[in-house]
Structure 1
Amino acid sequence: MSRTLSVAVKAYPHTEFLASGFAAGGRPVEVSHVDPIYRAFAPMVRELRYDVSELALATFLQAREAGVPIALLPVVLSGDFHHHSLTRWPGSAEFAPADLAGKRVGVRAYSQTTGLWVRGILHEEYGLDAKDVTWVTTEGPHVAEYAEPANVERTEGKVLDVLRRGEVSAAVLGPPALDGAEGPLVPVIPDWHAAEEAWGARHGTVPINHLLTVRRDLLEAEPGTVAELYEAFGARIAERKVADPDPGPRVRALRFGVTDELVAGLQVAIDYALQQNVIRTPVTVAELLDDFSRLA
């Protein structure tokens, strides 16, 4: 019997097909149930634990810079606008985003992709540079080789707890944390919904959070298997987008293939990452997709 393919992805509507006897290249798929899904990222980039894995965009950028042999597939599994992801505790003093200069802001990890987008927005729209804030984190980077900037600190607990205790003026919270938060956290950016749509119109994309990656040795040894899996993800994403007549940004973010929106999203992320020292070596979108281009 063919060896199973180990796949680590979150249970989205567009990934449910993997759990119902799906096979690629004649090889059955075994889904690793990692919750939350970001717990799969360090094992993927440090140990190559999975054949195929969902991976945060910032983590992939750092892993590529570190020479980790994984390849990016143009399959966006999750994304969202993030102006609303910068929050303060209810009842705390109101302030403008630019007032965070010299202040402390909580984020799960400096290399968290939601944090990448928020810091980019603060720089682009409010002139606030990442180096002018102390970033208080509860976790380190997934990529062991990455050295954090000097203005990154570590603390204990969850980011919500750090914000609740008043140890930070604001906090960056990704969709799972925001969705599960108790009480109405207050977005720091005013009129955030309009600001998000304006950002999207300006850049021609919805920010990317997680994409699909594959071990490079599997891609090189079994391109047909990877291609079959890639096409299956694409079909499910297309079905989900067609089924939603009025999609919100989380559905609009889903993408398959090398589209203008995908390229725009990757390019802005590269620009933001270089600004923030999330990566230190310039890279092009074409280079990110080089392995996939050989497959195609």
Structure 2
Amino acid sequence: MGKLNLSIAVGNYDRMRPLVDGEVQIDGVDPVFMLQDPEEIFFRAFRHADYDICELSLSSYSVKTAAGTSPYIGVPVFPSRAFRHTSIYVRNDRGIESPADLKGKRIGVPEYQLTANVWARLFLEEDHGLKASDVTWIRGGYEETGRLEKISLKLPDDVRLENAPDNQTISGMLASGEIDALIGPRAPSCFTDGHPNVRYLFDDPQKAAADWYARTKLFPIMHLLGVRRSFAEQHPWLPGAVAKAFEKSKAVALAKLSDTSATKVTLPFVEEQLRNARRLMGHDFWPYGFEPNRHVLSRFLKRHHDEGLSSRLLQPEELFHPATLESFKI
């Protein structure tokens, strides 16, 4: 029997390159890699299940898993993680000096249920007392009109969510002052273009995130890896093989990043950044695997359910194929 010929859709990250370039192999698999933006992968995965293995939004996958309708089963590989204190942009002419000042404001979101926005709402409420029901949410595309939620939502009655006008984007509305703030995983163009009235909510978002991590030990997971459920049932060895290969690929990427005799990324002070990350977060600051991430997943799933996004409170184990919850040791 030959190898399984499988389509794999992931972002073009350094931690994926050893796999994409063939330096690392997945046991029993002949892969066809597609390097795509998360928006395209998630849309195609959750609308049509286009891929055999792919990166998945943690939030969307949790919605589908709670409902029992996910075509994918998770593997504890986390291609994307990010602190989201850099994901909140505000007008500087609305008296917004602190997160508490967002109360009563109109805040744009590309989609309400995006993983980045769940994490942002978690620390805005826990650290600053701002509830989801304290603001009006305006949903729309960053730079293109007509963006909709990938999956249908049933939000609590006290959460006000409106669609942006058909001819408006949330970046444009922030620039023109029709909304007061914006939360999302990408910077809006009005911010990157240097609009004089748009700034980060936090004066020093990196320091705010580092302080938050020191207190909570939460490095937010954005995406996980999913294997088509039918393949995992037919080939129960596959999820474990995928987890092993992606772990090895990340290890190769980190070894290259650590070799500063000739810097592998086009950025000065890489070794200092790496040293600072390890000083704050430990040597393995981007852990894969179930147990090292149980506490992060638990906090996310509780928030997700409390927000009305998942129909029941999921346990972290329910997200993953049973074969990937533990690993062998030599």
Band of TM-score, shorter chain: 0.7 to 0.9
What does residue 118 of structure 2 align with? 116
Work out which of the residue numbers 151, 170, 185 in structure 1 matches 2:160: 151
Question: Aligned to 1:230, which of 223, 243, 260?
Answer: 243
* Aligned pairs for 1:111-190 within 5 A: 111-138=113-140, 139-143=147-151, 145-149=152-156, 151-155=160-164, 156=166, 157-175=168-186, 177=188, 181-183=192-194, 185-190=198-203
CA contact (8 A) 1:78 1:253 kept: no
Alignment of 1:1-296 (within 5 A): 4-21=5-22, 24-34=26-36, 36-67=37-68, 68-89=70-91, 93-138=95-140, 139-143=147-151, 145-149=152-156, 151-155=160-164, 156=166, 157-175=168-186, 177=188, 181-183=192-194, 185-242=198-255, 243-244=257-258, 245=271, 246-247=273-274, 254-260=286-292, 262-289=293-320, 291-293=322-324
Per-residue CA deviation, residues 54-88 of structure 1 (Å, 9 max, x unaligned), is 01111111111221132111111111111221111
Measured against aligned partners, the alpha-carbon deviations of 1:250-278 in whole angstroms (never above 9, x if no partner) come to: x9763221243x11211121122123222
Residues 286 and 208 from structure 1, CA distance in 2 versus in 1: closer, same or farther, beyond 3 angstroms? same
Cα gap change, 1:37 to 1:17, in 2 (>3 Å): same
- Report SS of the residue matched to 1:95: coil
Range with greater deviation from structure 2 (71-80 or 21-30): 21-30
Distance 1:97 1:198, change over 3 A: same
- Normalization by structure 2: what TM-score? 0.78
Contact 2:19 2:246 (C-alpha < 8 Å) held by counterparts: no
Question: Which ranges in structure 2 are unaligned for 5 or more consecutive residues?
Answer: 141-146, 259-270
In structure 2, relative to structure 1, the CA distance for the partners of 1:198 and 1:294 (3 Å cut) is closer
- Contact in 2 for aligned 1:78/1:210 (Cα 8 Å): yes
Amino acid across the alignment from 1:286: E
Deviation, structure 1 residue 7 = 0.8
**Cα displacement (A) at 1:49:** 1.4
* Shift in Å, 1:90: 5.6
Percentage of identical aligned residues: 26
- 8 Å Cα contact 1:80-1:253 kept in structure 2: no
Q: Secondary structure at the match of 2:162?
A: strand
RMSD: 2.9
1:231 maps to a residue whose letter is: K
Whether the aligned pair in 2 keeps the contact of 1:8 and 1:54 (CA below 8 Å) is yes
Number of residue equivalences: 293
SS at match of 1:24: coil
Q: Where do 5+ consecutive residues of structure 1 fail to align? A: none
Which range moves more in the overlay, 226-235 or 172-181?
A: 172-181
TM-score, normalised by the number of residues in structure 1 = 0.87
Q: Residue type of the partner of 2:61? A: F
Which one has a bigger Cα radius of gyration? 2
